[in-house]
Amino acid sequence: MSALAFATLALLLVGPVPALLARASWPLRAPRAAVVLWQSIAVAAVLSAFSAGIAIASKLFVPGPDGRPTTLLGEIDQLGWPLWALSIAVFGLTLLIGARLVVAGTQVFVSTRRRRSHHRTLVDILGVTHDRAAAQACTRARELRILDVAQPLAYCLPGVRSRVVVSEGALTSLADAEVTAILTHESAHLRARHDLVLEAFTAVYIAFPRFVRSRNALDAVRLLIELLADDAAVRAAGPTPLARALVACASARAPKGALAAGGPTTVIRVRRLAGRPNSVPLAAAAYLSAVAILVLPTIAVAVPWLHELQRLFSS
């Protein structure tokens, strides 16, 4: 594949493709497979962007017919001004994306953990552990912290020293089955480390320039990981208690870096609990699509290099 093809594929995978997938309704019935599909799209987009730069570098920096490095003027004469300028622009954009990806990943990693550590200290000071039976819904009871807040709320702070935080308002206003559902929801986030998935998508979103990136992937994955936690809560307590707990906590706001049970997606999630169950055929189709999307640019990059290595060792 040429550099232009790789660049076009990268632009499609960070713009139109996420926009189309974000408008689809089938991911609600196959959330785990949809997350994998989103991950493959993100990885393929980054890989395609880097592949465009590699393809351009292989054309711009190869030795000339006499074996000596080609000069800048020689490349312009060979490619022409328009194609040369386009190649340089795409190569520069690739380097920019690579640098921004490293910087964005580091910033997201450091700032998120600093914020969570600060908030964890606060809830450890202000909160208390609880010995009621509902606390057993947590993976480890010592993770649970109760805040003296009248508003029903529940969220978790992922990390090595994770915390599940609920309010007294949630414990007093919700039935035992509803408390179990909401605590299981938060514990599911911690066990699956959904925070790492969100951090990766946040870094990719920041890395790409504003004029090509789309927020669809980040918003869609944020909803999907809530659906995965909802499924775990349904298995523990049933759909009705979870739906009631979600509605009770819908207006609560969690701190940045936390994963909250309520939020702006509550209506979609409650409607899903009353709708059709997850679909195995949809999940299988999504997994196959994820493999195809990821394998295509990988093969396109690997095959030419393998061919060159074979030619080098056979000569």
Quote the tokens at residue 258. Answer: 């936390």
Q: Which ranges of 142-212 would DSSP assign to H, the alpha helix? A: 168-173, 176-192, 194-207
User: Using alpha carbons only, what angle is made at residue 140 by residues 182 and 150, rounded to the nearest 5 degrees?
Assistant: 40
Round to whole Å and give the CA distance between 16 and 287.
20
Look at residue 139 in the predicted model and tell me its pLDDT. 45
Residue-wise burial string across 18-27, b where 16 or more C-beta atoms lie within 10 A, e elsewhere:
beebbeeeeb
- Which residue carries 């312009």 as its tokens? 76
Strands (E) in the chain, as ranges, are 144-147, 154-157, 163-167, 259-260
Cβ-based neighbour number of residue 15 at 10 Å = 17
Q: Please, what's the b/e burial string for 2-12 (b: 16 or more CB within 10 A of its CB; e: otherwise)?
A: ebeebbebbbe
Residue 293: CB atoms within 10 A of its CB come to 20
Phi and psi at 103, nearest 5°, equal -65, -45
- Residue 315: what pLDDT? 55
pLDDT in tens, 72-105: 555 666 666 777 777 777 777 778 878 888 898 8
The model's pLDDT over 98-154, given as tens digits with 9 standing for 90+, comes to: 888 889 889 989 999 999 999 999 988 887 765 454 455 444 556 888 888 889 999
- List the helix and strand counts (H, then E) for the chain: 12, 4
pLDDT at 268: 94
Percentages helix, strand, coil for the chain (3-state, rounded to 5) are 70, 5, 20
Residue 13 domain boundaries? 3-314
The number of residues making up the chain comes to 315
Cα 282 to the chain's mean position, in Å?
20
In order along its 315 residues, the chain shows pLDDT tens digits of: 577 777 788 888 888 888 899 999 999 999 999 999 999 998 888 888 777 777 776 666 655 565 555 555 556 666 667 777 777 777 777 788 788 888 988 998 999 999 999 999 998 888 776 545 445 544 455 688 888 888 999 999 998 889 999 999 998 899 989 999 999 999 999 999 999 999 998 888 887 777 667 788 889 999 999 999 999 999 999 999 999 999 999 888 888 888 888 888 899 999 999 989 999 999 999 999 999 988 877 776 666 556 655 655 665
**In the chain, how many domains are there?**
1
